[in-house]
Amino acid sequence: MIAIVDYGAGNLRSAQKAFERNGVEALVTDDPETIRQAAGVVLPGVGAFRDCYDGIASRGLTDVVRETIHTDKPFLGICVGLQLLFTESEEGGLHPGFNIIKGSVRRFSASEERKVPHMGWNQIEILRRDCPLFEGVESGDFVYFVHSYYVIPSEEDVIAAVTDYGVKFCSAVWRRNLFGVQFHPEKSQHLGLRILANFARIVRNATHSSA
Active-site residues: which are they? 79, 184, 186
Looking at this protein, which amino acid is placed at residue 158? Answer: V
- Give the three-state DSSP class for 37: helix
CA atoms within a 13 Å half-sphere pointing along the CA-CB vector of 173: 31
Is it true that the peptide bond before 153 is cis, omega within 30 degrees of 0? Answer: no
Sign of CA dihedral 93, 94, 95, 100: positive
CA gap 156, 58 in Å, rounded = 32
CB 177 within 8 A of CB 73: yes
Is it true that the peptide bond before 32 is cis, omega within 30 degrees of 0? Answer: no
CB 87 within 8 A of CB 99: yes
Instruction: From 152, 157, 145, select the one nearest 97 (Cα to Cα).
Output: 152
